[in-house]
Amino acid sequence: MKALEGVRILDFTHVQSGPTCTQLLAWFGADVIKVERPGTGDITRGQLCDIPAADSLYFTMLNHNKRSITLNTKDPSGKAVLEEMIKRCDVMVENFAPGALDRMGFSWERIQELNPAMIVASIKGFGPGPYQDCKVYENVAQCTGGAASTTGFRDGLPLVTGAQIGDSGTGLHLCLGIVTALYQRTKTGRGQKVSAAMQDGVLNLCRVKLRDQQRLARGPLEEYSQYGEGVEFGDSVPRAGNDSGGGQPGRILKCKGWEDDPNAYIYFITQAPVWEAICDVIGEPGWKTDPDYATPKARLPRLNEIFARIEEWTQTLNKFEVMDILNSRDIPCGPILSMKELAEDPSLRATGTVVEVEHPVRGTYLSVGNPVKLSDSPTEVLRSPLLGEHTYEILSEVLQFDDQAIARLQESGAIGEPAKIAAE
Ligand code: CAO
């Protein structure tokens, strides 16, 4: 038995943000039925393709454990099928452009009429306000949610990060909203709207910078490098390079081989309780008692000098040797791991965080498995569906349409060509 067994999701999502959410629901055991446009399907099936005729990794890595039905929901008979699905599903998840669902004829009011218990979960770029009608992609959310203005170096451009905090981050937020609404429904019997805006999701993940914005009104941010460098602060939180965002100063430092290897670095944190251990490791035992270095407050204006001295030591060893030594003394640190190193990491394979998946067209590929482990509901990662692979199965088993009704839908074009192949 899986945690969400018995929950049926009408998955009207596309690209990355929505599919991240429904993939998690599928991994927790929900029956996720992905509704796609006949012929093309989710646009990511054909984006950044690496193997001709195979669904892209973009698509396959975001749509595991789902079933696919092709349905033209603008065609009257396709619309009628969607209505039947709404009656039989617990949750509809969508991340269309603002207003698209209403234009299709499925407003919140109409969905309520069809199924008052349905939870309708939506991702949009922005919440209500001046930008509510805008289409949004990942980097737009990073820029409007506070991540870009606070990422990068003080003298450089704002930067976006490789972590998809706008898309996958908002998908995670929405997923939590859905299971919360499902829980509330067990008491009220009613559905509700669940909304997550990408700007809000990014800002939520950037809350330490909103914290610093308020601290800035009361004085300089002493743990930022620029404080030690004597550079004045402006009126908004500056970009802080690799300075730690927490109360424990940290930096990325070079390790042996950094001249040739772009990832021969380690993140080093000078956590106050292990300061004495740090002094011993780097060969500065005098700093343990020297009043200029002995307390966190005294160290703040000297962080650049302190990290330069620590880096002299880290450069004598490779990043894994540095980590072994620091870990043995409980000093927090993190080597900069490349994607290649992560893909090959045996412990991530052992826990199912990185998984190999078999696909009938592309063969074996690597994917990220469920990062959330439930002891009573283990995740088995199953390949993503082919376009319309389950159209016949869903029409006959979930909606109990007979063969004649399905044939009529095929003739009208409402369910598209691939469904015929799957039916045969
Ligand atoms: N049958 C018939 N029509 C369908 C359909 C189906 N099965 N599935 C979708 N459509 C239609 C929609 O109804 C819509 O039609 P109208 O424009 O006539 O109303 C149309 O397809 C296009 O939908 P869209 O506007 O959502 O798609 P887009 O490619 O133009 O925009 C995106 C993509 C992501 C910018 C937009 O969907 C969006 O802003 N979504 C919200 C924010 C979001 O999730 N962004 C993250 C994307 S991941 O980086």
Q: What is the pLDDT of residues 299-316, one digit of tens each?
A: 998 999 999 999 999 999
> Is the per-residue pLDDT at 106 higher than 90?
yes
- For CA atoms 8, 367, 12, 53, the dihedral sign is negative
For 114-127, what is the mean pLDDT? 98
C-alpha 248, offset from chain centre: 26
Mean predicted lDDT score pLDDT of the chain: 95
For β-strands 354-359 and 363-368, DSSP reports them as antiparallel
Atom 47 of ligand 1, nearest CA residue:
137
Atom 11 of ligand 1, nearest CA residue:
100
pLDDT band at 247 (very low <50, low <70, confident <90, very high): confident
> Could you give the percent of the chain with pLDDT greater than 90?
94
pLDDT at 245: 73
> Distance between CA 421 and CA 393 in Å, rounded?
12
Catalytic residue set: 167
Reported in sequence order, the residue ranges of 13-74 that DSSP labels E, i.e. its strands, are: 31-36, 66-70
232 CB burial (10 A radius; 0-12, 13-18, 19+): exposed
pLDDT at 422: 45
pLDDT band at 423 (very low <50, low <70, confident <90, very high): very low
β-bridge partners, 272: none
Give the closest residue to 128 by CA, choosing from 191, 193, 183, 209: 193
> Is the per-residue pLDDT at 420 higher than 50?
no
Ligand 1 atom nearest residue 104's Cα: 13
Ligand 1 atom nearest residue 43's Cα: 29
* pTM for the model: 0.95
Residue 13 tokens, joined: 């999502």
Q: How far is the CA of 415 from the centre of ligand 1 (A)?
A: 18
Give the closest residue to 15 by CA, choosing from 196, 134, 167, 122: 167
Alpha carbon of 345 to those of 60, 196, 264, 363: distances in Å? Answer: 21, 34, 17, 21
Q: How far is the CA of 51 from the centre of ligand 1 (A)?
A: 25
Atom 15 of ligand 1, nearest CA residue:
100
For β-strands 354-359 and 333-335, DSSP reports them as unpaired
For β-strands 66-70 and 119-124, DSSP reports them as unpaired
Atom 10 of ligand 1, nearest CA residue:
37
Least confident of 1-5, 160-164, 228-232: 228-232
Q: Decide: helix, strand or coil at residue 139.
A: helix
> Is the per-residue pLDDT at 211 higher than 50?
yes
Residue 19 tokens, joined: 């599919």
Q: How far is the CA of 54 from the centre of ligand 1 (A)?
A: 23
Residue 165 tokens, joined: 């905090």
Describe the crossing of helices 198-205 and 207-216 by its angle, rounded to 10 degrees.
60
Q: What angle do CA 171, 377, 360 make, to 5 degrees?
A: 70
pLDDT at 228: 86
pLDDT at 424: 43
Least confident of 94-98, 144-148, 392-396, 420-424: 420-424
Q: How far is the CA of 12 from the centre of ligand 1 (A)?
A: 10
Alpha carbon of 302 to those of 26, 125, 164, 383: distances in Å? Answer: 50, 42, 34, 53
Atom 28 of ligand 1, nearest CA residue:
97
Ligand 1 atom nearest residue 170's Cα: 44
DSSP 378: -
Ligand 1: residue of 14, 34, 95, 96 to mutate (most ligand atoms within 8 A of CB) is: 96
Ligand 1: residue of 13, 101, 135, 165 to mutate (most ligand atoms within 8 A of CB) is: 135
> Could you give the percent of the chain with pLDDT greater than 70?
98
Q: How far is the CA of 122 from the centre of ligand 1 (A)?
A: 12
Which residues have CB under 6 Å of ligand 1? 15-18, 35-37, 71-74, 95-97, 100, 103-104, 123-125, 135-138, 167
Q: How far is the CA of 15 from the centre of ligand 1 (A)?
A: 9
Least confident of 179-193, 305-319, 404-418: 404-418
- Residues whose CB falls within 8 Å of the CB of residue 51, separated by 6 or more in sequence, listed in order: 361, 362, 363
Ligand 1 atom nearest residue 16's Cα: 48
For 70-92, what is the mean pLDDT? 97
> Distance between CA 199 and CA 195 in Å, rounded?
12
Ligand 1 atom nearest residue 37's Cα: 7
Q: Decide: helix, strand or coil at residue 70.
A: strand
pLDDT band at 373 (very low <50, low <70, confident <90, very high): very high
> Distance between CA 39 and CA 421 in Å, rounded?
12
Q: Decide: helix, strand or coil at residue 8.
A: strand
Ligand 1 atom nearest residue 35's Cα: 7
Q: How far is the CA of 29 from the centre of ligand 1 (A)?
A: 26
Atom 39 of ligand 1, nearest CA residue:
135
Alpha carbon of 77 to those of 405, 408, 413: distances in Å? Answer: 10, 9, 9
